[in-house]
């Protein structure tokens, strides 16, 4: 290995990733970090994105970097000079899918020996994954994690010209890099990171290890980004964080919370503001009060509950109870009329009994959810819950999931039914997946609406009268007077 490049060999450590340092966040600028050259001229890149909106936002940054370096995007695998998988580690099946993809992509290495194959995102943050990649996937050329996307230009240079493998994954980076270029996937709705990382350490979850210490972007940077998006014609932003309600907790020089941020963003001309994900333990009264003033703050709140059993919630380290969750839901419904609440639920957490599961079902009935992502617990190596005793059979877990889903689906339908014969505002996304003659978009309550209309309406907010209600979507007619 040449001396110039062997600096790029650093493996992650789950143990190190658990540590939290109290250093303040450093703000860097890409332009100061690298000397961008036109190394991508005439070359094509393909980026495959898995996982949450956090990864989607990171991929937009990677695309921005690629195109700044002169690379062109392609969707044709056989044409690509570089393929990067931006991966997710949240559950075992998510990881297995990606290992499967890597196996499939090997064929292109044979037809194009110069192809660079890269693995980025959350999976490389796990030492077990990096070891497996090194051992069983020797044809992967580039491995980097979530903390060093800004070093992509240097890695590409090494992989392309140095023909060296690059493996560099940091476990404890606490930086925020501002001013990275971005190529956004949508023209009318955008993700805006308000914070990175997670300090919650729910006992089942790998995210605090793969994303590092919680760090909030400065209000100024966020507000500027939203104003810039308004100028570019964007109609909707989704504020991103693993626990948006703890936004600002890491500021040492000011006292500024999530509700302050919502108040300031409400004053911008952004038509719609959404946010995800909320944590029930930190969702405070001020936030409920700001949301109650509505305007451009959308009445849909995704509030993961995970379980309805206090015993299980405690073992999960969620730091709230069934009762306090329901009280929060009640307060939201009282102050924000028509609010739509959705959630995440895990079944089959180690030690979950039939009675615990019944508590979850009971909570789902009481909380009036209009949607939920439901999962079977997946043990993640290095997390505390992976070591908990688990006596429930997979068969029982699957049955619980099915029972739960029936209840959840009834909630989807009930949530849609309340809009029958009502007129709703829809931000038109594009044409429907199943029928190109039909437009599709989302209402303020985040309900999918299909209706006939001209493609020129894409990107606009229009009024649609709901004429038919299904479990997964609403059908309507365009109100021509809007
Ligand atoms: N920060 C968010 C989202 C985390 S990941 C939150 O706190 O809710 C999205 C969802 O994946 C979680 O809400 C949880 O329901 C699920 N999840 C996380 N780890 C999991 C695991 N090990 N097994 C099964 N589901 C998991
Ligand atoms: Fe995971 Fe909990 Fe953090 Fe959400 S809040 S990312 S579930 S540790
Ligand atoms: Fe997956 Fe990482 Fe997001 S593990 S859910 S891509 S933070």
Query: Could you give the angle at the alpha carbon of 330 between the alpha carbons of 326 and 336, nearest 5°?
Result: 140
* Ligand 3 centroid from CA 124, angstroms: 12
- Res 117: pLDDT: 97
Residue spans in the chain of domains classed CATH 3.80.30.20: 176-416
Q: Residue 138: CB partners within 8 Å, gap ≥ 6?
A: none
CB 169 within 8 A of CB 145: yes
Give me the architecture of the 176-416 domain, per CATH.
Alpha-Beta Horseshoe (3.80)
Residues at CB less than 6 angstroms from ligand 1: 90-91, 204-205, 207, 242-243, 277, 279, 304, 306, 344, 346, 375, 377-378, 380
d(CA 432, CA 451): 9
Residue spans in the chain of domains classed CATH 3.40.50.12160: 3-168
- Res 1: pLDDT: 41
Residue with CA nearest ligand 2 atom 5? 200
- Res 33: pLDDT: 63
- Res 13: pLDDT: 87
- Res 3: pLDDT: 44
Show the tokens assigned to 276: 């995800």
- Res 30: pLDDT: 67
Question: Whole-prediction pTM value?
Answer: 0.95
CB 43 within 8 A of CB 200: no
Distance of CA 50 to CAs 66, 136, 305, Å?
A: 18, 21, 23
Of 243, 260, 249, 251, the C-alpha closest to 27 is 251
pLDDT by 10-residue block (mean), the chain, 482 residues: 58 84 65 70 97 97 94 96 98 96 96 95 95 95 93 89 85 80 95 96 97 94 97 98 97 94 98 98 98 97 98 98 98 96 98 98 98 98 96 97 98 98 97 91 98 96 98 95 64
Distance of CA 65 to CAs 105, 115, 362, Å?
A: 23, 19, 48
Residues at CB less than 6 angstroms from ligand 3: 51-52, 54-55, 88-90, 121-122, 206-207, 210-211
Residue spans in the chain of domains classed CATH 2.40.50.140: 423-478
**Under CATH, what is the fold of the domain 423-478?**
OB fold (Dihydrolipoamide Acetyltransferase, E2P) (2.40.50)
Can you list the alpha helix ranges (DSSP code H) found in 167-299?
A: 207-211, 219-231, 258-266, 285-292
* Ligand 2 centroid from CA 58, angstroms: 18
Ligand 2 pocket mutation, candidates 202, 316, 345, criterion most atoms within 8 A of CB:
202
Task: Kindly state which CATH superfamily the domain 3-168 is placed in.
Answer: Methylthiotransferase, N-terminal domain (3.40.50.12160)
């Amino acid at each position: 290995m040449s001396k110039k490049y062997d600096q790029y060999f650093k493996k992650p450590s789950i143990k190190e990733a658990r540590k939290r340092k109290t250093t303040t966040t450093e703000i860097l600028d890409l332009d100061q970090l690298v000397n961008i050259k036109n190394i991508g001229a005439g070359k094509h890149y393909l980026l495959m994105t898995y996982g949450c909106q956090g990864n989607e936002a990171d991929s937009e940054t990677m695309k921005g970097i690629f195109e700044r370096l002169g690379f062109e995007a392609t969707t044709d695998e056989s044409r690509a000079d570089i393929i990067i998988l931006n991966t997710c580690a949240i559950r075992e099946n998510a990881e297995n899918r990606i290992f499967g993809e890597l196996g499939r992509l090997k064929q292109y290495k044979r037809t194009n020996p110069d192809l660079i194959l890269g693995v980025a995102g959350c999976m490389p943050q796990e030492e077990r994954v990096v070891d497996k990649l090194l051992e069983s996937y020797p044809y992967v050329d580039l491995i980097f994690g979530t903390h060093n996307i800004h070093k992509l230009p240097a890695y590409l240079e090494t992989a392309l010209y140095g023909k060296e493998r690059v493996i560099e994954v940091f476990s404890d980076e606490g930086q925020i890099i501002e001013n990275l270029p971005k190529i956004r996937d949508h023209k009318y709705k955008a993700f805006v990171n308000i914070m990175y990382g997670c300090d919650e350490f729910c006992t089942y979850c790998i995210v605090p290890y793969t994303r590092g210490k919680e760090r909030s972007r400065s209000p100024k940077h966020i507000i500027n980004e939203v104003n810039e998006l308004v100028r570019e014609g964007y109609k909707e932003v989704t504020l991103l964080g693993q626990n948006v309600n703890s936004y600002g907790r890491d500021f040492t020089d000011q006292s500024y919370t999530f509700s302050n941020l919502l108040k300031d963003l409400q004053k911008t001309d952004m038509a719609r503001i959404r946010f995800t994900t909320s944590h029930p333990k930190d969702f405070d009264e001020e936030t409920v009060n700001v949301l109650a003033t509505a305007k451009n703050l959308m009445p849909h709140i995704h509030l993961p509950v995970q379980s309805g059993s206090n015993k299980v919630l405690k073992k999960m380290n969620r730091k709230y109870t069934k009762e306090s969750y329901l009280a929060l839901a009640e307060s939201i419904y009282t102050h924000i009329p028509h609010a739509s609440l959705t959630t995440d639920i895990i079944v089959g957490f180690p030690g979950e009994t039939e009675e615990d599961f019944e508590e979850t079902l009971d909570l789902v009935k009481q909380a009036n959810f209009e949607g939920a992502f439901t999962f079977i617990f997946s043990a993640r190596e290095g997390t505390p819950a992976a070591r908990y005793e688990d006596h429930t059979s997979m068969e029982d877990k699957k049955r619980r999931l099915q029972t739960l889903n029936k209840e959840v689906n009834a909630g989807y339908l009930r949530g849609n039914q309340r809009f029958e014969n009502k007129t709703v505002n829809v931000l038109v996304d594009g044409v429907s997946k199943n029928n190109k003659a039909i437009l599709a978009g989302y209402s303020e309550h985040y309900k999918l609406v299909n209706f006939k209309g001209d493609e020129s309406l894409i990107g606009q907010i229009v009024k649609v009268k709901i004429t038919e209600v299904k479990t997964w979507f609403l059908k309507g007619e365009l109100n021509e007077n809007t």
